[in-house]
Protein backbone atom coordinates (compact mmCIF):
# COMPACT_ATOMS: atom_id res chain seq x y z
CA UNK A 1 0.00 0.00 0.00
CA UNK A 2 2.81 2.34 0.99
CA UNK A 3 4.73 1.39 -2.11
CA UNK A 4 1.68 2.13 -4.29
CA UNK A 5 1.31 5.51 -2.59
CA UNK A 6 4.98 6.22 -3.17
CA UNK A 7 4.69 5.24 -6.80
CA UNK A 8 1.71 7.57 -7.31
CA UNK A 9 3.61 10.34 -5.53
CA UNK A 10 6.61 9.74 -7.82
CA UNK A 11 4.42 9.92 -10.94
CA UNK A 12 2.81 13.20 -9.86
CA UNK A 13 6.14 14.64 -8.79
CA UNK A 14 7.57 13.71 -12.24
CA UNK A 15 4.61 15.32 -14.02
CA UNK A 16 4.90 18.56 -12.04
CA UNK A 17 8.69 18.72 -12.40
CA UNK A 18 8.46 18.12 -16.15
CA UNK A 19 5.67 20.67 -16.58
CA UNK A 20 7.56 23.22 -14.48
CA UNK A 21 10.77 22.58 -16.40
CA UNK A 22 8.98 23.08 -19.71
CA UNK A 23 7.38 26.33 -18.59
CA UNK A 24 10.79 27.60 -17.44
CA UNK A 25 12.36 26.58 -20.75
CA UNK A 26 9.59 28.41 -22.63
CA UNK A 27 10.29 31.54 -20.56
CA UNK A 28 14.02 31.27 -21.18
CA UNK A 29 13.49 30.80 -24.92
CA UNK A 30 11.30 33.90 -25.06
CA UNK A 31 13.94 35.91 -23.17
CA UNK A 32 16.70 34.58 -25.44
CA UNK A 33 14.76 35.63 -28.57
CA UNK A 34 16.50 39.01 -28.37
CA UNK A 35 19.71 37.25 -29.45
CA UNK A 36 18.14 35.97 -32.66
CA UNK A 37 20.43 38.05 -34.88
CA UNK A 38 23.63 36.48 -33.56
CA UNK A 39 22.10 33.02 -33.99
CA UNK A 40 20.75 33.66 -37.49
CA UNK A 41 22.63 30.78 -39.14
CA UNK A 42 21.41 28.24 -36.62
CA UNK A 43 17.83 29.59 -36.85
CA UNK A 44 17.82 29.38 -40.66
CA UNK A 45 19.14 25.82 -40.47
CA UNK A 46 16.31 24.82 -38.16
CA UNK A 47 13.75 26.69 -40.28
CA UNK A 48 14.88 24.63 -43.25
CA UNK A 49 14.46 21.50 -41.14
CA UNK A 50 10.94 22.38 -39.99
CA UNK A 51 9.77 23.97 -43.22
CA UNK A 52 11.56 22.95 -46.39
CA UNK A 53 12.50 19.39 -45.34
CA UNK A 54 8.95 18.66 -44.14
CA UNK A 55 7.34 19.91 -47.37
CA UNK A 56 7.16 16.51 -49.15
CA UNK A 57 5.47 14.88 -46.14
CA UNK A 58 3.19 17.89 -45.56
CA UNK A 59 2.22 17.81 -49.26
CA UNK A 60 1.32 14.14 -49.15
CA UNK A 61 -0.60 14.34 -45.88
CA UNK A 62 -2.38 17.54 -46.96
CA UNK A 63 -3.30 16.17 -50.37
CA UNK A 64 -4.74 12.91 -49.09
CA UNK A 65 -6.52 14.56 -46.16
CA UNK A 66 -8.34 16.84 -48.62
CA UNK A 67 -9.08 13.98 -51.00
CA UNK A 68 -10.38 11.67 -48.25
CA UNK A 69 -12.54 14.41 -46.69
CA UNK A 70 -13.98 15.22 -50.09
CA UNK A 71 -14.62 11.57 -50.89
CA UNK A 72 -16.13 10.59 -47.51
CA UNK A 73 -18.47 13.58 -47.22
CA UNK A 74 -19.07 13.97 -50.94
CA UNK A 75 -20.54 10.48 -51.41
CA UNK A 76 -23.00 11.02 -48.53
CA UNK A 77 -23.88 14.51 -49.73
CA UNK A 78 -24.41 13.19 -53.23
CA UNK A 79 -27.01 10.73 -51.90
CA UNK A 80 -28.86 13.72 -50.47
CA UNK A 81 -28.30 15.77 -53.60
CA UNK A 82 -26.14 18.21 -51.68
CA UNK A 83 -22.77 17.48 -53.31
CA UNK A 84 -22.44 21.18 -54.20
CA UNK A 85 -21.70 21.73 -50.48
CA UNK A 86 -18.59 19.57 -50.46
CA UNK A 87 -16.33 22.65 -50.80
CA UNK A 88 -17.84 24.07 -47.61
CA UNK A 89 -17.07 20.94 -45.61
CA UNK A 90 -13.56 20.45 -47.00
CA UNK A 91 -12.70 24.13 -46.39
CA UNK A 92 -14.05 24.32 -42.86
CA UNK A 93 -12.67 21.00 -41.67
CA UNK A 94 -9.22 21.63 -43.14
CA UNK A 95 -8.87 25.21 -41.93
CA UNK A 96 -10.42 24.79 -38.51
CA UNK A 97 -9.12 21.36 -37.48
CA UNK A 98 -7.41 18.97 -39.79
CA UNK A 99 -4.84 21.33 -41.30
CA UNK A 100 -3.34 22.64 -38.04
CA UNK A 101 -3.64 19.34 -36.12
CA UNK A 102 -2.36 16.97 -38.82
CA UNK A 103 0.51 19.30 -39.71
CA UNK A 104 1.44 19.55 -36.03
CA UNK A 105 1.37 15.75 -35.78
CA UNK A 106 3.70 15.22 -38.72
CA UNK A 107 6.12 17.95 -37.65
CA UNK A 108 6.15 16.76 -34.03
CA UNK A 109 6.74 13.18 -35.14
CA UNK A 110 9.38 14.00 -37.74
CA UNK A 111 11.21 17.08 -36.46
CA UNK A 112 10.36 16.90 -32.73
CA UNK A 113 11.57 13.31 -32.47
CA UNK A 114 14.79 14.16 -34.29
CA UNK A 115 15.41 17.19 -32.03
CA UNK A 116 14.81 15.15 -28.87
CA UNK A 117 17.17 12.44 -30.11
CA UNK A 118 19.85 14.92 -31.21
CA UNK A 119 19.79 16.94 -27.98
CA UNK A 120 19.51 13.73 -25.95
CA UNK A 121 22.61 12.31 -27.62
CA UNK A 122 24.41 15.61 -26.94
CA UNK A 123 23.40 15.44 -23.27
CA UNK A 124 24.65 11.92 -22.68
CA UNK A 125 27.92 12.53 -24.54
CA UNK A 126 28.70 15.58 -22.36
CA UNK A 127 28.34 18.01 -25.29
CA UNK A 128 25.79 20.10 -23.36
CA UNK A 129 28.11 20.24 -20.34
CA UNK A 130 30.96 21.17 -22.68
CA UNK A 131 28.90 24.09 -24.01
CA UNK A 132 28.10 25.26 -20.47
CA UNK A 133 31.75 24.94 -19.48
CA UNK A 134 32.67 27.19 -22.42
CA UNK A 135 30.29 29.80 -21.06
CA UNK A 136 27.78 29.15 -23.86
CA UNK A 137 24.13 28.92 -22.83
CA UNK A 138 22.54 25.76 -24.23
CA UNK A 139 19.12 27.45 -24.34
CA UNK A 140 20.44 30.30 -26.51
CA UNK A 141 22.60 28.01 -28.63
CA UNK A 142 20.27 25.04 -29.07
CA UNK A 143 16.71 25.58 -27.84
CA UNK A 144 15.91 29.17 -28.88
CA UNK A 145 16.77 28.64 -32.60
CA UNK A 146 14.53 25.56 -32.66
CA UNK A 147 11.72 27.35 -30.82
CA UNK A 148 11.85 30.33 -33.19
CA UNK A 149 12.03 28.08 -36.25
CA UNK A 150 9.00 26.12 -35.04
CA UNK A 151 6.78 29.11 -34.25
CA UNK A 152 7.55 30.79 -37.58
CA UNK A 153 7.50 27.77 -39.89
CA UNK A 154 4.59 25.87 -38.35
CA UNK A 155 1.96 28.44 -39.46
CA UNK A 156 3.51 28.63 -42.96
CA UNK A 157 3.60 24.85 -43.27
CA UNK A 158 0.03 24.60 -42.00
CA UNK A 159 -1.26 27.10 -44.58
CA UNK A 160 0.66 25.26 -47.30
CA UNK A 161 -0.77 21.92 -46.18
CA UNK A 162 -4.32 23.36 -46.20
CA UNK A 163 -3.88 24.80 -49.69
CA UNK A 164 -2.68 21.40 -50.97
CA UNK A 165 -5.59 19.74 -49.13
CA UNK A 166 -8.13 22.07 -50.73
CA UNK A 167 -6.65 21.31 -54.12
CA UNK A 168 -6.83 17.57 -53.34
CA UNK A 169 -10.47 17.99 -52.33
CA UNK A 170 -11.16 19.78 -55.61
CA UNK A 171 -9.59 16.91 -57.58
CA UNK A 172 -12.03 14.40 -56.09
CA UNK A 173 -15.03 16.75 -56.16
CA UNK A 174 -14.59 17.68 -59.82
CA UNK A 175 -13.46 14.32 -61.22
CA UNK A 176 -15.42 11.88 -59.04
CA UNK A 177 -18.43 13.73 -57.65
CA UNK A 178 -19.08 15.87 -60.70
CA UNK A 179 -19.09 19.18 -58.86
CA UNK A 180 -17.92 22.11 -60.96
CA UNK A 181 -14.58 23.65 -59.98
CA UNK A 182 -16.17 27.10 -59.77
CA UNK A 183 -18.92 25.92 -57.36
CA UNK A 184 -16.43 24.00 -55.21
CA UNK A 185 -14.18 27.01 -54.70
CA UNK A 186 -17.06 29.50 -54.38
CA UNK A 187 -18.76 27.46 -51.61
CA UNK A 188 -15.42 26.92 -49.93
CA UNK A 189 -14.45 30.61 -49.79
CA UNK A 190 -17.99 31.74 -48.97
CA UNK A 191 -18.04 29.50 -45.89
CA UNK A 192 -14.72 30.65 -44.50
CA UNK A 193 -14.60 33.69 -42.26
CA UNK A 194 -11.56 35.65 -41.13
CA UNK A 195 -11.90 34.18 -37.66
CA UNK A 196 -11.36 30.68 -39.09
CA UNK A 197 -8.05 31.68 -40.61
CA UNK A 198 -7.04 33.53 -37.45
CA UNK A 199 -7.90 30.50 -35.33
CA UNK A 200 -5.96 28.25 -37.68
CA UNK A 201 -2.85 30.44 -37.43
CA UNK A 202 -3.11 30.68 -33.63
CA UNK A 203 -3.35 26.93 -33.41
CA UNK A 204 -0.34 26.44 -35.66
CA UNK A 205 1.69 28.92 -33.61
CA UNK A 206 0.79 27.29 -30.29
CA UNK A 207 1.37 23.77 -31.62
CA UNK A 208 4.77 24.84 -32.96
CA UNK A 209 5.71 26.29 -29.57
CA UNK A 210 4.46 23.17 -27.78
CA UNK A 211 6.29 20.54 -29.79
CA UNK A 212 9.54 22.55 -29.88
CA UNK A 213 9.60 23.12 -26.11
CA UNK A 214 8.64 19.52 -25.35
CA UNK A 215 11.30 18.12 -27.71
CA UNK A 216 14.05 20.46 -26.49
CA UNK A 217 13.20 19.86 -22.83
CA UNK A 218 13.14 16.08 -23.09
CA UNK A 219 16.35 16.15 -25.14
CA UNK A 220 18.23 18.48 -22.80
CA UNK A 221 17.25 16.49 -19.70
CA UNK A 222 18.21 13.09 -21.11
CA UNK A 223 20.25 10.76 -18.91
CA UNK A 224 21.21 7.06 -18.96
CA UNK A 225 23.02 6.75 -22.28
CA UNK A 226 21.55 5.29 -25.46
CA UNK A 227 18.55 3.84 -23.63
CA UNK A 228 17.78 7.30 -22.25
CA UNK A 229 17.96 8.83 -25.75
CA UNK A 230 15.40 6.31 -27.01
CA UNK A 231 13.13 6.98 -24.05
CA UNK A 232 13.40 10.76 -24.50
CA UNK A 233 12.52 10.51 -28.17
CA UNK A 234 9.40 8.46 -27.49
CA UNK A 235 8.46 10.72 -24.58
CA UNK A 236 8.85 13.84 -26.74
CA UNK A 237 6.50 12.50 -29.42
CA UNK A 238 3.89 11.16 -26.96
CA UNK A 239 3.79 14.38 -24.88
CA UNK A 240 3.77 16.61 -27.98
CA UNK A 241 0.87 14.78 -29.65
CA UNK A 242 -1.13 14.70 -26.43
CA UNK A 243 -0.57 18.39 -25.73
CA UNK A 244 -1.47 19.33 -29.31
CA UNK A 245 -4.90 17.72 -28.86
CA UNK A 246 -5.44 19.26 -25.41
CA UNK A 247 -4.42 22.70 -26.68
CA UNK A 248 -6.59 22.24 -29.77
CA UNK A 249 -9.67 21.75 -27.61
CA UNK A 250 -9.00 24.79 -25.43
CA UNK A 251 -8.12 27.09 -28.35
CA UNK A 252 -11.29 26.02 -30.17
CA UNK A 253 -13.33 26.43 -26.99
CA UNK A 254 -12.08 29.86 -25.99
CA UNK A 255 -10.94 31.51 -29.23
CA UNK A 256 -13.29 29.87 -31.69
List of residues contacting another protein (CB under 8 A): 118, 121-122, 125-127, 129-137, 141
Give, in order, the Cα–Cα distances in Å from 183 to each of 67, 83, 106, 175, 194. 17, 10, 31, 13, 20
Q: How far apart are CA 56 and CA 110, in angstroms?
A: 12
Q: How far apart are CA 27 and CA 5, in angstroms?
A: 33
DSSP state of 224: S
Report in angstroms how near the CB of residue 132 gets to another protein at its nearest.
Answer: 6
Q: How far apart are CA 241 and CA 210, in angstroms?
A: 9
Who's near 202: CB < 8 A, 6+ residues apart?
A: 251, 255
Q: How far apart are CA 120 and CA 112, in angstroms?
A: 12
Nearer to another protein, 129 or 227 (CB): 129
Residue closest to 43 by CA, chosen among 138, 132, 221, 35? 35
Nearer to another protein, 81 or 135 (CB): 135
Nearer to another protein, 50 or 166 (CB): 50
Nearer to another protein, 144 or 205 (CB): 144
Nearer to another protein, 226 or 255 (CB): 226
Q: How far apart are CA 143 and CA 216, in angstroms?
A: 6
Nearer to another protein, 83 or 215 (CB): 215
Report in angstroms how near the CB of residue 142 gets to another protein at its nearest.
Answer: 10
Report in angstroms how near the CB of residue 225 gets to another protein at its nearest.
Answer: 12
Report in angstroms how near the CB of residue 176 gets to another protein at its nearest.
Answer: 47
Who's near 47: CB < 8 A, 6+ residues apart?
A: 149, 152, 153
Give, in order, the Cα–Cα distances in Å from 79 to each of 65, 146, 183, 223. 22, 48, 18, 58
Report in angstroms how near the CB of residue 127 gets to another protein at its nearest.
Answer: 5
Nearer to another protein, 14 or 190 (CB): 14
Report in angstroms how near the CB of residue 104 gets to another protein at its nearest.
Answer: 26
Amino acid sequence: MLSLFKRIEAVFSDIFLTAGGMVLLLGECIIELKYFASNARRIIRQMMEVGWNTLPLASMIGLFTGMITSLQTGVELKNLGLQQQVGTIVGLSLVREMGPVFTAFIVAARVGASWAAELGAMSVSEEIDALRSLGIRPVRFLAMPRFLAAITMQPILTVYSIVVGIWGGALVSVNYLGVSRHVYYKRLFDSLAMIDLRLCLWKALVFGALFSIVSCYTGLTTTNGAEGVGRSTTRAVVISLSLVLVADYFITRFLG
